[in-house]
Structure 1
Amino acid sequence: MSPAPHSLLIHSQIQEVHGSACLIDSDCPVDNLNHIGNGANTGKCIIQPGMSNGTCEIYSWCPLENDTLPLGSEHFMFPMVENFTLLIKNDVTFRKFNVHRRNIQHWVSKRFLRTCHYDKDHPEYKHCPIFKFSTMFKEANIDHSALIHGGVIGIDINWDCDLDWDKKYCVPEYKFSRLDDPDAPIGRGFNFRYAYYYYVDGVLHRDLIKAYGIRFQIHSTGTAGKFHILPLTMNIGSGIALLGLAPVICDIIILNLVGSKKIYQKAKFETIAEEQQLIAARRECKVKPGDLPKSSKKKKKVSTESDSHSQEHPESNANITPSGDQNVVP
């Protein structure tokens, strides 16, 4: 924390600000604002004794802000900050299951809270909601540079609950990480400014404070699940449908797209004798599919009847002459 008491006075702009140098008053337009300056021009050029160039006079709080660390860039401003503690209270509600949980467990007593510090490897202290800064620095792999320029630490609280078990097993897990860039060339760490305004002998004064510190950003997420018969039946039905459809899809692919589809056809389908005859007849005679079976069956039936007739009457052969005389052959 770097406080600086200021009063509202007229002050010359610093030489480092581009456009603030001047030789005469006309070089400093009245009420002109420089976006990197510290105030509006009064219209006067102030030349210090022994200097050839001057700077434009401005309306500003005096003295101007000195943006340097009070102890330098290598010394800790708060060497005992590692022993500071942070208490986190976090609640989560799973409305679908009507379950409400908080990170302070129901069995925790006041005595436990006064003495515990979070330790992820301890069976009881891993449920402690009080965190030492040193523990968070260690979990986030933060070195002592955060104690000089400040920093931003992210705390992730994750609730992953299986509500088929007792809800006492629904407890959070903590993870820590550094969110700012510790190697940034400019604007490193974390700081902010705020001011106090007051009057002394009727004159308005301001104390501008540039505070360096640790900023915590807490992010809480949660998921919960519980057994239900409806998703189970839907998954079983989908699996059965998929298993029934899989052979059909495989047959379509193999019978039409694979190079060895003829081999698969012979192995999968069995051609009966009648169909083989039809196929052979189509190739030879090129007749219609409905004509060949009927005609072939008739021919086969007639030949069979004639054969049987000849076998039943072996002695009925006769020679008939044109004149009608019959000669019986013995």
Structure 2
Amino acid sequence: MKNKIANALSDFFYEYETPRQVLVRNRRVGVVCRLIQLGVLVYIIGWVFIYEKGYQSTDTAVSSVFTKMKGQGYTNVSGNEKVWDVADYVFPPQGDSSFVVMTNYIVTEGQRMGRCPELKGKHNCSTDADCEEGSFKRQMTGVCANRTKTCEVLAWCPVEDDHNIPDPPLLMSAENYTLFIKNSVTFPLFDVTRSNLVEGINSSYIGKCLHDPEDAPLCPIFRLGDIVKLSGFNFETIARVGGAIGIVVDWTCNFDLHLKHCKPKYTFHGLYGNPAETDKAKASVGYNFRYARHYMENSVQKRTLYKVFGIRVDIIVQSLARKFDIIPTLTAIGSGVGIFGVATVVCDLVLLYLLPKREFYKHMKFKNTNTYAKDPDSEAGSIETELSKVRDSYMYVLD
């Protein structure tokens, strides 16, 4: 038993096995092999290393966005002149990465809590029985108003009439508002922090620049009308009923180059809300919401209700940074070397199963051995294997 274990350990530590190689001279098989190897080489170099940058590690950024609107609007509705500033037309006013710029509105002034009839055409009635108390979206009182022939409701009175949207939009001056975007990104893996106020973007430059994709692509000051135009919308159309626009700040950086080459790229996308769309199946277009300004008058709480139509701006930061790393490089090379084995597998299949001389190639590739067992009563009691001698390290098989 000890001898068997010792022999096994000796065979394991002191013997080396090498695969047998057979050199086959066959034009068809040789061409197939080289074409497969060429394809693998093109894949490794072209796709893995050049296109996918397999020799680099990647990281995405942690981002922060600050915004500021500037500009004044002016309206004159029925002789009532009003100047609108940032505090009036931006919601919310904190400088978030997502906000709404008011471009049109419907105002209902002097509302107070009480009982009043619904608008004509809504919840029509002829008797009190037609106004079931507590039904529908509004709180009904169960009374049919004789003057309007509509159900009486408990609500802020007079009720809002939002059927007629002002056209043209009341705040067409919003086209000339400007938006300042300040964006900072940090790539934790590479310990790199960048701002969209890159080299050359100082206070004097910001004071006079206006973003243009060709002439001033790095300027962080954007005219609202230009944003709408670059997103594919018509300003007057979207200003009337509102909509949404996405501003994408793209940080795609290669840190194998100098840090100054890591710069943002701005793109603009219309998200929804274009009333000119031909898709008539849409249930709703535009963007609107309501807000109220409450006040006290003669010890009575009142409010002015605004239905606001506006352009919602969503600033989206996307990022991808790359830098050379030895580990993904070796992984990509190792994977490529392994794929080269595909050529051997395919060529073996062609040799052993498709060519006319496949039996001859099988005989050359596989060497059979004859084995027989000794007398079981012998001292060794082992199986002796007779191996045929290898004539040459490489055998040349002629086509």
Q: TM-score, normalised by structure 1?
A: 0.70
Aligned to 1:28: 131
- 1:99 partner letter: V
| CA shift for structure 1 position 117 | 0.8
Tell me the distance in 2 between the aligned counterparts of 1:175 and 1:76. 26
- 1:28 partner letter: C
User: Are 1:57 and 2:149 matched, yes or no?
Assistant: no
Percentage identity across paired residues of the two chains: 30
The one of 328, 332, 338 equivalent to 1:235 is: 332
User: Are 1:217 and 2:314 matched, yes or no?
Assistant: yes
Aligned to 2:143: 44
> 1:148-189 deviations in whole A, cap 9, x for unaligned?
222211111111100001111111111101111412666332
| CA shift for structure 1 position 255 | 3.6
Distance 1:235 1:263, change over 3 A: same
| CA shift for structure 1 position 224 | 0.6
Aligned to 2:223: 132
Tell me the distance in 1 between the aligned counterparts of 2:346 and 2:284. 63
- 1:171 partner letter: K
Aligned to 1:4: 108
Aligned to 2:356: 262
Asked if the contact 2:166/2:240 (under 8 Å) is kept, the reply is no
Aligned to 2:162: 67
Asked if the contact 2:288/2:308 (under 8 Å) is kept, the reply is yes
Tell me the distance in 1 between the aligned counterparts of 2:169 and 2:294. 29
Tell me the distance in 1 between the aligned counterparts of 2:364 and 2:106. 95
Asked if the contact 2:273/2:287 (under 8 Å) is kept, the reply is no
> 1:265-320 deviations in whole A, cap 9, x for unaligned?
6579769xxx9xxxxxxxxxxxxxx9xxxxxxxxxxxxxxxxxxxxxxxxxxxxxx
Tell me the distance in 1 between the aligned counterparts of 2:305 and 2:142. 26
Aligned to 2:186: 93
Asked if the contact 1:158/1:221 (under 8 Å) is kept, the reply is yes
Tell me the distance in 1 between the aligned counterparts of 2:359 and 2:255. 53
Asked if the contact 1:155/1:219 (under 8 Å) is kept, the reply is yes
Give the secondary structure class of the aligned counterpart of 2:232.
coil
Aligned residues: 256
| CA shift for structure 1 position 234 | 2.3
> 1:83-125 deviations in whole A, cap 9, x for unaligned?
2111111111110000111111143221111101111212xx2
| CA shift for structure 1 position 70 | 5.4
Q: TM-score, normalised by structure 2?
A: 0.58
Higher relative contact order (CA 8 A, sep 6+): 2
Asked if the contact 1:13/1:57 (under 8 Å) is kept, the reply is yes
Deviates further, 176-185 or 213-222 = 176-185
- 1:155 partner letter: I
- 1:147 partner letter: A
Aligned to 1:151: 243
Asked if the contact 1:160/1:223 (under 8 Å) is kept, the reply is yes
- 1:242 partner letter: I
Distance 1:181 1:253, change over 3 A: farther
Distance 1:69 1:43, change over 3 A: closer
Tell me the distance in 1 between the aligned counterparts of 2:131 and 2:224. 51
Asked if the contact 1:152/1:216 (under 8 Å) is kept, the reply is yes
| CA shift for structure 1 position 12 | 1.7
The one of 105, 112, 121 equivalent to 1:16 is: 121
Distance 1:61 1:127, change over 3 A: same
Aligned to 1:303: none
Asked if the contact 2:352/2:362 (under 8 Å) is kept, the reply is no
Asked if the contact 1:153/1:215 (under 8 Å) is kept, the reply is yes
Distance 1:80 1:257, change over 3 A: farther
Tell me the distance in 1 between the aligned counterparts of 2:146 and 2:316. 55
- 2:126 partner letter: C
Distance 1:47 1:138, change over 3 A: closer
1:276-315 matched pairs, under 5 angstroms: none
Bigger Rg, structure 1 or 2 = 1
Give the secondary structure class of the aligned counterpart of 1:158.
strand
Asked if the contact 2:106/2:166 (under 8 Å) is kept, the reply is no
Aligned to 1:80: 173
- 2:121 partner letter: E
1:156-195 matched pairs, under 5 angstroms: 156-182=248-274, 183=277, 187-195=284-292
Asked if the contact 1:255/1:265 (under 8 Å) is kept, the reply is no
Which one has the bigger strand percentage?
Answer: 2
Give the secondary structure class of the aligned counterpart of 1:90.
strand
Tell me the distance in 1 between the aligned counterparts of 2:309 and 2:239. 9
User: Are 1:250 and 2:343 matched, yes or no?
Assistant: no
Asked if the contact 2:165/2:240 (under 8 Å) is kept, the reply is no
| CA shift for structure 1 position 230 | 2.0
User: Are 1:226 and 2:320 matched, yes or no?
Assistant: no
Asked if the contact 2:211/2:219 (under 8 Å) is kept, the reply is yes
- 2:315 partner letter: I
Give the secondary structure class of the aligned counterpart of 2:170.
coil
